[in-house]
Amino acid sequence: MTRSEDLFARAQTLMPGGVNSPVRAFGSVGGTPRFMVSAKGPYLTDADGKEYVDLVCSWGPALLGHAHPAVLEAVHAAVDRGLSFGASTPDEANLAAIVQERVPAAERVRMVSTGTEATMTAVRLARGFTGRNLIIKFAGCYHGHLDGLLAAAGSGVATLALPGSAGVTEATAAETLVLPYNDLAAVEAAFAAHGPNIAAVITEAAPANMGVVTPGEGFNLGLSRITREHGALLILDEVLTGFRTGYSGYWGLTGGAADAADPWTPDLLTFGKVIGGGMPTAALAGRADVMDYLAPIGPVYQAGTLSGNPVAMAAGVATLTHATRDVYSFVDARSLELSSALSAALDSAGVDHSVQFAGNLFSVAFGTSANGVHNYADAQAQETFRYAPFFHSMLESGVYLPPSVFEAWFLSAAHDDAAMNRIFDALPAAARAAAAAQA
């Protein structure tokens, strides 16, 4: 047995499915998940000593590359001062100030520990502020594993072919209206029927959990208009896209851009991944009058002993300080290079596909060249059977892809020419494996 096989066999006797997050189990691609023991720059090393070019980047946080010296230095200094105080620390405000500078819509910021906690708090806050119960979400958008938002979620739920989750009560599910993504007419109809009871619409700034799906022209703007007209709030989930797709996140590429033809502003935003620099932290931010409904000055309660953890705050401050506009330009260019090479390899092998973009995030969808992917139904209708052989071919060539076709690909500022060439060299054989796949 390989070391990873041995570790996985042991883990399965100790943890449900042998993992602590479902997609890690390789359920949709098959085979043994690789157990990673170290990471540096654009590379991961598994327990058997094999090195991989990493295109997961810890699902986003490794924007600068793994083990960036400045981030490690900040973390080591923070660790030397103590791991957790259960009290306020200077870097909480320092990180909040950086978030606010980059995203002017973040008039107030509340640090939490996970993206799920951020979206859970956003939903509770929206209900508390508006005095309404219903939440609109979109099929295929994933906002963490809170009960009310697991209906028709993407990502791991889509990978495991589950329509929702056991343990979610009918009463809880009934407080969520699930609509098709990119369909403003459906949103208008929902508000016509339920408007006085709708507290908020929650949407990923650009979905990246049913594969990447680009918001249609004017879609997010339309959501902002509709919610404003009906006295509801717009929650923009940037847990994956925030400070990853650009200096100010995906909102900064669209509504928040200074040159946007039709600027728009969400009421609440959720952040995660990159703001922790690889450490577990996340944040809720938004309008001051809404955010000030949170305790201790408002009636909506939220708390967390590890919220604003000093080590996580130090990692976040260091990461965002070094994530300059030049870094984003570099990652954008690398993303364009790789997505172009991916398409060229698949075209050469005769594999029908489309590549979906959201800033520098992208994903491939097989059998979708005619219309692309615009919603969850499109994502589910693709030829998913082609991904597993494609994935394993890349893995054998030393390239670690997301172990699900319903996930985005991530690059970093550390993906130099040597790393990129290793990916390019692996693509032709992987494309041929996808071409030969049978349903």
On whether the CB atoms of residues 372 and 354 are closer than 8 A, the answer is yes
**How is residue 265 written in tokens?**
């502003």
Question: Do 47 and 11 touch, CB atoms closer than 8 A?
Answer: no
Please work out, in degrees rounded to the nearest 5, the angle formed at the alpha carbon of residue 274 by the alpha carbons of 405 and 23.
30
Residue (of 200, 210, 214) closest to 142 by Cα position: 210
Dihedral sign of CA atoms 165, 170, 123, 373 in order: positive
Q: DSSP readout, 202-249?
A: EEESS--SSS--PPPTTHHHHHHHHHHHHT-EEEEEETTTTTTSSTTH
Indicate which residue of 43, 52, 142, 250 is catalytic: 142
Of residues 273, 328, 376, 387, which has the active-site annotation? Answer: 273
For 154, how many CA atoms within 13 A lie in the half-sphere containing its CB? 31
Asked whether the beta carbons of 264 and 255 are under 8 A apart, the reply is yes
* Tokens 């958008």 sit on residue: 141
Q: Rounded to an integer, what distance in angstroms lies between the CA atom of residue 86 and that of residue 90?
A: 13
Q: Which residues lie below 8 Å from residue 36, measured CB to CB, with a gap of 6+?
A: 44, 45, 46, 47
Residue 134 has φ and ψ, to the nearest 5°, of -75, 145
- Here the tokens at position 377 are 């139904």
Is 142 marked active-site?
Answer: yes
Reference 27, options 162, 152, 166; nearest CA is 162
**Calpha distance 184→180 (Å, rounded):** 9
C-alpha to C-alpha distance for 260 and 277, rounded to whole angstroms:
29
Q: Of 237, 328, 378, 387, which one is the catalytic site residue?
A: 237
CA atoms within 13 A of residue 358's CA, in its CB half-sphere = 32
Q: Which residues are catalytic?
A: 142, 237, 273
